[in-house]
Amino acid sequence: MSQITTRQRDLIQILTNSNDNIGISTLADYLGLSPRQVQYDLVQIRPWLGKRGITLVMKPGVGVQLGISEVQKTQITTELLHSTKIQLVLTPQQRQQLILFLFLTSDEAIILNHLTYVLQVSRTTILKDLEFIEIWFQQREIRFLRKPNFGFQIDCSEKQRRESLALFLWGNSEDFESPLFQMSHLDGLWFAFQDDVEKLEILANTNSILKEFNTRRVIRRVTFAEAQLGGRFTDDAVLYLSLVFAIQAYRVNQKKYLDFPENEVKWVKERPVWVTARQISKKLITDPYFEWTDTEIAYIAMQLISVPRNERWPGDLDAGIQLNQIIDQLMEIIADRNGHPHLLNDPVLREGIVIHTIPALFRKKFQLLYPFQSNYHTERQMETLDMETAQEIITRISEQFNIQPPLEEIENIALLIRAAVIRDRSNHIGKVIVVCPSGMATAQLLIARLRAHFPRLNKLEVVSMRDVMQKQTLDANLIITTIPFSLPKHNNITILQVHPLLLPEDIEKITRFLNNLASSGL
């Protein structure tokens, strides 16, 4: 065997980097393959490894391991990195994803011969892939046109094209076991074959378009929007906005524009978010002579106010007293159903309901999509009462505003309710020590925020670092600190480090601790 495939190369790399036995199922998970495919590849790579003096040891019920020295590891790693004798073999799902990307980014018809050439497969294989492609588009209400002697083409609005492309590139679709594309804060838009683009023309073409998106640069534009608007998006929302705006800039550069009703564009232009949207448009395309249409700027503004956020933004409740009244009613429902009257005035719960409701209203108004991810695999993992209460909350919101939030929003509301119940139970916590060496002003600010978010916490006491280290905390149940430190091993007091401003992730951390404490029955 003189050549190996890229899949087999990845398998060899995993085995080379491991000093222990690895199970077949574990290898399958790493590679996104079936156990049978892994077993097939193991048989194929054995002679290739043997020519290099490396043995492949397979122990039934134990796993797979290489008989390899450190010198051989270095040699193999170098060879795999620089070898040109590696054959790229795409799976059907990989081909289909590349074809989908090609159709979603192309406005012209694509002929069958072109697909066979760029993918290096037969016409029969491509025609079978196109059967899946057609169904995929039909499920999204996009027409897939087959034009004799002309080629294949999709027929949809510009908005449909952009949203379908964004959700596809988001990478969490259930259509594919191993997505080729995925968004992350570290890499921006990641492409699975970015290191193998020279092996196939369609990979090179795909990678070239992805480079034009430049999502890592666009992420900075989204954080600029946060600063201008005075709030923070959720982490996923930052990534999704970056992807949406990158696609938008790419399409606008090609003179492909959206079409929205004039009254919606006028409504957005009258809002403060318009100024921020206009500033972002100038940063997305740096050509000083490029003119953005009002519709495209409006689309930026619509997206900014329609994605999930971590906190209420200035002016969020300017929608009118009707929203305040419905939120009051929802708080009463939660307090009554849980038998916790204190929940009626829980500021964190109220804010959580508000910041989940307002973006949902805007998504309904502008008919925008968002790639929600489920927090749980089954509803049984949620507290039954919380899910029932959350369902009633969603029903009330649906009736009042004619929107139907997805299941994931019901789960989010249930999580908010669970966190509020835990906070309400937290009066069984004894003494809580707060350590904040930067000064009394900062310490008092932190204390105030803790009391606002956890009103049932008792005996919050500021203690200096010296007193903590001198064991003046033996009667404390919890230490909340703004700097890292540890106590002697025999001391079982829990230490939680937080930011002086008590950020959302800090609130989640404390809530999780209280939840675990309540679950343990302490």
Q: Scan for tokens 């087959």, then name that residue.
A: 146
What is the CATH number that goes with domain 316-424?
1.10.1790
Which tokens in the block code for residue 225?
């929007």
Euclidean distance between CA atoms 364 and 319, whole angstroms: 14
| Cβ neighbours, 10 Å, residue 265 | 20
The pLDDT score that the predictor gives to residue 513 is 83
- Same CATH fold assignment for domains 4-87 and 429-520: no
Domain ranges of the chain: 4-87, 92-213, 215-306, 316-424, 429-520
346, 420 Cβ separation under 8 angstroms:
yes
pTM of the full predicted structure? 0.72
What is the CATH number that goes with domain 92-213?
1.10.10.10
The pLDDT score that the predictor gives to residue 319 is 47
- The vertex-184 CA angle with 221 and 406, nearest 5°, equals 90
Percent of the chain whose pLDDT exceeds 70: 87
Buried b (16+ CB within 10 A) or exposed e, 303-326: bbbbbbbbbebeebeeeeeebeeb
The pLDDT score that the predictor gives to residue 279 is 96
Burial of 514 (C-beta count, 10 Å sphere; 0-12/13-18/19+): buried
Give, as one character, the DSSP assignment of residue 183.
Answer: E
Residues with Cβ within 8 Å of 119's Cβ and at least 6 positions away in sequence, in order, are: 90, 95, 98, 99, 126, 200, 202
Euclidean distance between CA atoms 70 and 418, whole angstroms: 52
Euclidean distance between CA atoms 151 and 147, whole angstroms: 5
Taken in order 194, 196, 197, 201, the sign of the CA dihedral is negative
Which amino acid would we find at residue 364?
A: K
The pLDDT score that the predictor gives to residue 102 is 97
Q: Which fold has domain 429-520?
A: Rossmann fold (3.40.50)
The pLDDT score that the predictor gives to residue 296 is 97
The pLDDT score that the predictor gives to residue 178 is 82
Class of domain 4-87: mainly alpha
pLDDT per residue as tens digits for the range 302-312: 999 999 988 77
The pLDDT score that the predictor gives to residue 522 is 47
Euclidean distance between CA atoms 261 and 31, whole angstroms: 47
Euclidean distance between CA atoms 43 and 114, whole angstroms: 34
Burial of 154 (C-beta count, 10 Å sphere; 0-12/13-18/19+): buried
Q: Which residues make beta-bridge pairs with 432? A: 460, 478
The pLDDT score that the predictor gives to residue 470 is 59
260, 222 Cβ separation under 8 angstroms:
no
Block means of pLDDT (10 residues each) for the chain, 522 residues, are: 77 90 89 85 90 90 90 88 76 94 96 94 95 96 92 96 96 82 89 88 95 94 93 90 97 94 93 94 90 96 92 61 74 83 82 84 89 53 72 80 70 80 63 75 78 75 70 71 76 83 85 72 48
Q: Where are the beta strands (DSSP E) in 117-216?
A: 143-147, 151-155, 181-184, 188-191
pLDDT per residue as tens digits for the range 386-421: 788 888 888 887 777 776 666 667 777 887 887 777
